[in-house]
Amino acid sequence: MAVLTVAIVAGCSDAEAPPARMSLNLVPYNHMTDGIANFDVEVKGGSKSGGGFLREGSGGGSMICCVSVPQKWQPDLTAKVSAEVYRQSGEKYDIAKEVLIPQYTPEQAGHVSVHFLRDGEVKIFVTRYALWHPDYPLKGREAELKPVIR
């Protein structure tokens, strides 16, 4: 009976244990024509990380420590992303999005990339590739850093 009780309790403990996580650098990209004064990224169940000024049409040149993501991807994995953005006219506006994180494997996990896109959307990828690599998950016009002139 005692062995059965221990097995049941141990089984419950494993089921309630939080998933193993890994800590990765955050790499930001600003595809917009506006500059970002500061931004934050918080992956569901993890810590918040963020950065300061990110000029329009720039990014990928630096990494920010650290964002915690589950070692095993989950279908409902999201991140809250917020940013304070400034137009060239000096007008300020805020971005606040909850973004789904596409599937990844631990072998693909080199860093977390956050992309502030021209259309105001935000995309996040857990990847080991740089933006210029042919296997990077963001492709085509959307991946270009050169901002469109309005």
Mean pLDDT over 3-14 rounds to: 48
20-143 under CATH 2.60.40, yes or no: yes
Q: What is the mean pLDDT of residues 21-50?
A: 92
Nearest-angstrom CA–CA distance, 60 and 144: 12
* pLDDT value of residue 45: 87
Average of per-residue pLDDT across 15-35: 88
Residue 142 has pLDDT above 50, yes or no: yes
Residue 1 has a pLDDT of 52
pLDDT of residue 72: 94
Residue 7: the pLDDT is 46
Q: How confident is the model at residue 5 (pLDDT cuts 50, 70, 90)?
A: very low
Of 94, 71, 75, 83, give the one whose Cα is nearest residue 42: 83
The sheet that has 78-86: what strands, in order across it? 48-51, 35-43, 78-86, 92-100
pLDDT in tens, 53-75: 899 988 877 778 889 999 999 99
Q: How far apart are CA 46 and CA 87, in angstroms?
A: 31
Neighbouring residues of 101: CB distance < 8 A, sequence distance ≥ 6:
43, 69, 73, 77, 78, 79, 124, 125, 126
Domain map (residue ranges) of the chain: 20-143
DSSP state of 107: G
Q: Residues 39, 42, 43, CA angle at the centre, nearest 5°?
A: 140
pTM: 0.84
Are the C-beta atoms of 40 and 54 separated by less than 8 Å? no
Beta-strand relationship, 21-30 and 111-116: parallel
101/124 Cα distance (integer angstroms): 6
Question: Is the predicted pLDDT of residue 12 greater than 70, yes or no?
Answer: no
67-99 CB burial, b ≥16 within 10 A, e <16: bbbbeebeeebbbebbbebeeeeeeeeebebeb
Average pLDDT over the chain, rounded to an integer: 86
**pLDDT of res. 6:** 45
